Structure 1
Amino acid sequence: MSSFKIRKVTDSFHPSNTYAIEQVFEILRIHFPSVKEDKINEILEQMKDPLKYQFSSTLFVAEGGQANIKGFAILFYMPDANYCFLDYIAVKPGRISSGVGGAIYERIREEAQLLNTVGIFMECLPDDESLCKDKSEIKQNRARLAFYERYGARPIINTKYETCVNPEDDCPPYLVFDDLGNDYDLTSKVAKKIVKTILQRKYPVYCPEEYIKMIVSSIKDNPVQLREYKYRIKNRSIEKNKAVKNHIPLIINDKHEIHHIKEKGYIESPVRISSITKEITKLEAFQLRPSRAYPDKYILEVHNPKYFNYFKRVCSTFPEGKSIYPYVFPVRNATRPPGDLSVLAGYYCIDTFTPLNKNAFIAARSGVNCSLTGAELLLEGYHTAYALVRPPGHHAERDVFGGFCYFNNSSISAHFLSEFGKVAILDIDYHHGNGHQQIFYSRKDVLTVSIHGNPSFAYPYFTGFTEETGEGEGEGFNLNLPLKENLTGAEYLKVLIKALKRIKEYKPDYLIISLGLDIAKGDPTGTWSLTANDFKNNGIEIGKLAYPVLFVQEGGYYNRTLGINARNFFEGFLSTRVK
């Protein structure tokens, strides 16, 4: 079976989404030839205007190589009645046994679970020949109902839902309910509200009010009853969704250890990764995944090719164990770079303590692969991924390195994901995420939010002020929250909630967390006093968000508590998962 990823399509203007939608409409026309063009075009309107239709509509596509769409599903979410409705699901002709349909359905079950809904409702044509004058599709109807039975989804019985609206109608559908494996008892009161909203919102013109009242009043059972299993293989267990946040791909930079500066006072060391790994694996939520290889173009779309080429070239010139540090900077004339590679280091750097050596490029380049792997896993349907990398990246700007950072892992991943929807970056490192700010300062498709020590006393000193809010199209899409020198965990939490409020207002399709753990008490690069319990509280707040999340490791240098704080953070994050 060829590989594919399942991703959300939340708008129709990104080129990758436009192309996907065109293919979806072609599949829809083939599978549902009776659907009129105005109804097909209405799909886009439903995605754009949830207030008008009183539900949010999300398109999920199974996308293979060369952006080839293999199948799709359209899921409605009715927040006032707390349920999802599966409007369409179909695979490209010839792909029936490819597993695409099952993968898509499992993905939307995860989505319904993340939204804390009672479950998924859908209409399925009947397998009862007495309901259909035309018997030609009975076999296909049976196959479809058998498919849903695998997940415990069955028709609701003892109601008049299978009543034709008009006498000339044929094959009225069942209303099928999937409780997501949670053994949920659907009360008659809840069922009546749900059925009413389905008929009113999905068929606002077709279903008369008297018809709707008749169907709703026919719901008598409390709780509502589902049809007995008809197709389920004996002794086969129901396929239940596991807690989706409890499967977190962990992508560790396997080349980080070669970047080891054995000099007194250099704190960005390999032990940071082992300290974190040792503790978070106790949670049994992480699945170690290898990183994938990505071409340089993803870096060059974010970083200046001149800087990239210099960094790669200069690192290749060093003997093993030799490092240089920038020491001369172009404060007077930046237009005339020097020719000497060692002197040129200051042309591309913002400080005097970030070294260049033989392995710096290799380690940093490998880190990019890790973060991009995590980003692509979100596109494939994972709710959460964690790129545990070093060296970090959030201080690297388009043209320069610094702060132990060479390539901006989070920003490169954000730009990658921005081809598929809106992205927010939340930087919770002690130091300002100047790289994110500089790279996206004129863009509105990536919101950048940074909580950090005030630059009046904290690195990088020259950026991170509140008045830096973006420019041009990006005006209002950069939020800096600089904080005082001495800060408690309770004070930090209030600011974090403020940052999360701005992110929720933005409504991103993907969220990237630049995960700095140097906000901890005792960190040699910070001044705050957050303890393990504070990290847990922070994780709880972030875990309440339903967006797909990519965590990318940034700072954190106090190894005595580094891993414990990471474990507590993720323990809090996981505690708010959908059960």
Structure 2
Amino acid sequence: MFRIRKILNPYLPVNEHEIKQVQAIIQSQFPDIAKEKVATIPDQLINPLKYQYKTMLFIADDLDGRVKGCALMLYMPDLSFCYLDFLAVSPGRTSSGVGGALYERVREEADSLDINGLFMECLPDDSDNCPDEEIRKQNAKRLAFYERYGARPITGTRYETPVKPEDTCAPFLVFDGLGSHDEIGAQKLKLIVRAILERKYGDYCPEDYIRMVVGSIIDDPVQLRPFQYKKKLQNGVFRTTLSERKKIFWVINDRHSIHHVRERGYVESPVRVETIRKSLEPTGWFSKGTPSSYPEKIIRDVHDAGYMNYFRKVCKNLPAGKSVYPYVFPIRNGAHPPKDLTVRAGYYCIDTFTPLNQNAYLAARHGVNCTLTAADELLSGRSLAYVLTRPPGHHAEHNVFGGFCYFNNSAIAAHYLSELGRVAILDIDYHHGNGQQQIFYESSNVLTISIHGHPSFAYPYFSGFVNEKGKHQGEGFNYNFPLDEEISAEKYRQTLMKTLEIIRKFSPVYLIVALGFDTAKDDPTGTWKLTASDFEQNGILIGQLKVPTLFMQEGGYNNRRLGTNARQFFKGVQKGFFGQ
């Protein structure tokens, strides 16, 4: 398994480690490149003015931090084009799919910038320019790879002229129109070629050489070499999925329905997910993703191993259709849990209405997979992601469950992302996000904020007070905004704007929103009266932060209004983030 990740900060310890691997891969695959050039990659990422282009680094790595491949792309906004500087995979991985995944990700990023095209250099595959047969075979493989995407060498120019007589195998300039630009004009190409030669090769290419190459561009429009490795396909076949990149990445827990408690009054039912799904699917705002599997270790970084082992074991041993509710709470002797697993439920629970059953663990565990899949999508450079899952998670603490929650998805995602930048969690469920607060109470890497009904009348009753501000290193990084039983939509928005200002000052790299729709009018678990219009306005405000955001589904139990409220909320988010 590998993931594609966009490096934003080259000086985070985890990124420094992986950039060293990137440099080793590039040096191995392109031995003629000077080490001094490769060493400048971190500086390129943070100094666009110095280099006259914005550098973007994408890596394919695994969860252990082993880099399997990388792509370095240069963006020159003044001329509206991108240049693929390097695409390389670790030795021995040429057929692993890593190269294709990286190039597709590069194309998506390039297309999202509304550019005229993506350019790159490829060494020649003809005997006139490359006399060595073995080298030609390798060059042919690379050109055939790019030709699959419609990218071909530009012909009729002197770009492949050696700078010095001793230079061999001077490269072709290859053009990828990303499926939307079939041709490019001579004047535009002249400006682009001059920019490439001056900004990238200014220390090697003299001015008279640059003028010679630029002056050789005569054909208008510029001609591309005919397809040599594949027959030309129908128009549009090389179109990227870039429009998908601007959508909200959507992961649905397709196993949530196995956790179905058919008991009177149990509101956390499968119909919640179906109601939201049916309302959002027709909008066209979402790009659906498929959940990947992730190791249990990531959950153990947040949740107690003893609790996890108990949860898995008790669910596995329960008969189908039977639910166990906590009814004994051994708070006076926590060091000696009861032997009977069903009695021990109260040892790990905070209430009497959250059941354990045969499928609770399986549904919650798959919800974590959905969460981490969406988190990885943010790491790849996606702006917005949404996990539609149940059971919810924000009441689960380090070693206890409750409030229908077993694994704290928001906390797991926050811890996972926090190794790559600061994370803020904004909980806008009607009930206090006690789980995130307890898990990160002593941390300064994760800011936790919750807007909720005052604990004097609202679950979980024991936390969510204003004076709970964090402890030790986490002091000042936990905020609670408990509100009255009856509030206006205007009062709620004023409070929301206060929280957003705190988030702006914290300046997170990623934002997680624990998203509850139980703040809505007539929700059976809340007392507030937010309408669909209110949800849209709140979505706009959150979107205007323009921070890559993961939305985690939490509460919301009025199924007559749930779908509409969800649709209007995400309509607002897109308006705020993209201005659409």
Q: Which of the five TM-score ranges fits, normalised by the shorter chain?
A: 0.7 to 0.9
Q: Is the 8 A contact 2:481 2:495 kept in 1?
A: no
CA distance in structure 2 between the partners assigned to 1:191 and 1:303 by the alignment? 56
1:29 match = 27
**Structure 1 residues 294, 103: closer, same or farther in 2, change over 3 A?**
closer
| Structure 2 unaligned spans of 5+ | none
**Structure 1 residues 232, 387: closer, same or farther in 2, change over 3 A?**
same
The CA deviation at 1:275 is 1.8
CA distance in structure 2 between the partners assigned to 1:227 and 1:167 by the alignment? 26
User: Where do residues 236-275 of structure 1 align in structure 2 (5 Å cutoff)?
Assistant: 236-237=233-234, 238-242=237-241, 243-245=243-245, 248=249, 250-260=251-261, 262-264=263-265, 266-275=266-275
User: Where do residues 321-336 of structure 1 align in structure 2 (5 Å cutoff)?
Assistant: 321-325=322-326, 330=331
After superposition, the C-alpha distances for 1:430-455 in whole angstroms (9 at most, x for unaligned) are: 33333223323444544545454566
**Structure 1 residues 117, 399: closer, same or farther in 2, change over 3 A?**
farther
The CA deviation at 1:26 is 3.3
User: Where do residues 414-429 of structure 1 align in structure 2 (5 Å cutoff)?
Assistant: 414-418=414-418, 423-429=423-429
Aligned match for 1:57, one of 34, 55, 58:
55
Q: Is the 8 A contact 1:253 1:388 kept in 2?
A: no
The CA deviation at 1:393 is 0.4
CA distance in structure 2 between the partners assigned to 1:540 and 1:178 by the alignment? 36
2:84 match = 86
The CA deviation at 1:98 is 4.4
Matched residue type, 2:251: L
CA distance in structure 2 between the partners assigned to 1:197 and 1:494 by the alignment? 49
- 3-state SS, counterpart of residue 112 of structure 1: helix
| Structure 1 unaligned spans of 5+ | none
Asked whether 1:390 is paired with 2:387, we answer: no
**Structure 1 residues 295, 23: closer, same or farther in 2, change over 3 A?**
closer
CA distance in structure 2 between the partners assigned to 1:449 and 1:190 by the alignment? 50
The CA deviation at 1:279 is 2.6
Matched residue type, 2:566: A
Asked whether 1:433 is paired with 2:426, we answer: no
1:560 match = 560
**Structure 1 residues 168, 370: closer, same or farther in 2, change over 3 A?**
closer
Q: Is the 8 A contact 2:156 2:219 kept in 1?
A: no
1:302 match = 302
User: Where do residues 79-478 of structure 1 align in structure 2 (5 Å cutoff)?
Assistant: 83-126=81-124, 137=135, 140-155=138-153, 169=167, 172-183=170-181, 198-199=196-197, 201-203=199-201, 205-206=203-204, 210=207, 214=211, 218=215, 225-227=222-224, 229-231=226-228, 233-237=230-234, 238-242=237-241, 243-245=243-245, 248=249, 250-260=251-261, 262-264=263-265, 266-283=266-283, 294-312=294-312, 321-325=322-326, 330=331, 339=338, 348-351=348-351, 353-356=353-356, 360-375=360-375, 386-418=386-418, 423-453=423-453, 458-460=458-460, 463-464=463-464, 470=470, 473-474=473-474, 478=478
TM-score (structure 2 length as normaliser) = 0.78
Which 10-residue stretch deviates more, 344-353 or 39-48?
344-353
**Structure 1 residues 457, 36: closer, same or farther in 2, change over 3 A?**
farther
1:506 match = 507
Q: Is the 8 A contact 2:428 2:513 kept in 1?
A: yes
- 3-state SS, counterpart of residue 260 of structure 1: coil
Which 10-residue stretch deviates more, 36-45 or 182-191?
182-191
2:520 match = 520
Q: Is the 8 A contact 1:424 1:503 kept in 2?
A: no
Matched residue type, 2:300: L
Q: Is the 8 A contact 1:251 1:374 kept in 2?
A: no
**Structure 1 residues 293, 135: closer, same or farther in 2, change over 3 A?**
closer
**RCO higher in structure (CA 8 A, sep ≥6):** 1
After superposition, the C-alpha distances for 1:469-508 in whole angstroms (9 at most, x for unaligned) are: 6555556655656667524389639946973994697352
Matched residue type, 2:238: E
Which 10-residue stretch deviates more, 546-555 or 158-167?
158-167
**Structure 1 residues 236, 550: closer, same or farther in 2, change over 3 A?**
same
- 3-state SS, counterpart of residue 493 of structure 2: helix
Matched residue type, 1:400: V
Q: Is the 8 A contact 1:253 1:370 kept in 2?
A: no
The CA deviation at 1:32 is 0.9
CA distance in structure 1 between the partners assigned to 2:220 and 2:545 by the alignment? 31
Matched residue type, 1:225: V
The CA deviation at 1:387 is 3.5
The CA deviation at 1:250 is 3.2
Matched residue type, 1:92: S
The CA deviation at 1:260 is 0.9
After superposition, the C-alpha distances for 1:332-373 in whole angstroms (9 at most, x for unaligned) are: x68666748778655544445444556544543443344345
The aligned length equals 572
After superposition, the C-alpha distances for 1:522-565 in whole angstroms (9 at most, x for unaligned) are: 32333444433554565567678887654432111110011233
**CA-atom RMSD in angstroms:** 4.8
Q: Between the two proteins, what is the percent identity of the paired residues?
A: 49
User: Where do residues 469-488 of structure 1 align in structure 2 (5 Å cutoff)?
Assistant: 470=470, 473-474=473-474, 478=478, 485-488=486-489
- 3-state SS, counterpart of residue 89 of structure 1: strand
The CA deviation at 1:58 is 3.5
Q: Is the 8 A contact 2:371 2:387 kept in 1?
A: yes
**Structure 1 residues 321, 241: closer, same or farther in 2, change over 3 A?**
same
Matched residue type, 2:397: E
Q: Is the 8 A contact 1:348 1:399 kept in 2?
A: yes
